Amino acid sequence: MRRIAPWLIAIAFYGLLAPLGLADIDGGPLGWILPILTAVGCVLPLIVAHECGHLLAALVLRLPVAGMRIRLTETSFVRVRPSPSAPALPLRFVVLHLAGPLVNLGLAYGLVRFATGDEVSDLARSCVLTVFLLSVVIGVANLLPHRDSSGMHSDGARIWSWIVHPAREREALRRAAPRPMTAHPRRREAATSHAAVTATSPGAGPPSAP
């Protein structure tokens, strides 16, 4: 419940913010309830879009994908494990970690363009702008360097680390290279590079965004 509560607060906040911003106070109960329901239904698709951005970037950059997880109440991520000696790794990882937030910001741009159309009703505009706000916060918060409660770094933190400390990141990949099953799997997994959005942390949404 501790992981769900921040999302419920955030969804209620952004669901109410859009009607207030449009001064759609005369829309009746539906004008308040429908944007909240829309936000509830769109949180997971926004996380999926974020992770698919990372996955597509990994495939285009030919970074071997070691795993992918999408959760609403836990950390979602795309895990890659390239060779530490692979060429242009810093640039490829910067693009990899940028891809997820850029997908969210691109979706936000498309949503706001749609919401500003003349043929869109006030109620539909409220719903679309609620999703727009959530998508912006997910994208921007992931670009802010931070570490979530599980110890996973945000996309912004990984980008900064690959730019400033590329040798250290390569060494982390080297330590995470496959070893016999009797080796320390937890330690090996902890050293693996992640492209992540955190569903219960500042990285994935507004509940505790810095």
Per-residue model confidence (pLDDT) at position 27: 55
pLDDT at 85 over 80: yes
Per-residue model confidence (pLDDT) at position 188: 38
Task: Measure CA 150 to chain center.
Answer: 15
Instruction: Determine the Cα–Cα distance for residues 143 and 94; give it in Å rounded to an integer.
Output: 11
160-177: per-residue pLDDT in tens?
999 999 999 999 888 877
The DSSP string of 33-72 is HHHHHHHHHHHHHHHHHHHHHHHHHHHHTTPPEEEEE--S
Amino acid residing at 82: P
14-33: per-residue pLDDT in tens?
555 555 555 444 556 666 77
Q: How confident is the model at residue 201 (pLDDT cuts 50, 70, 90)?
A: very low
128-169: per-residue pLDDT in tens?
888 898 899 899 989 999 887 778 889 999 999 999 999 999
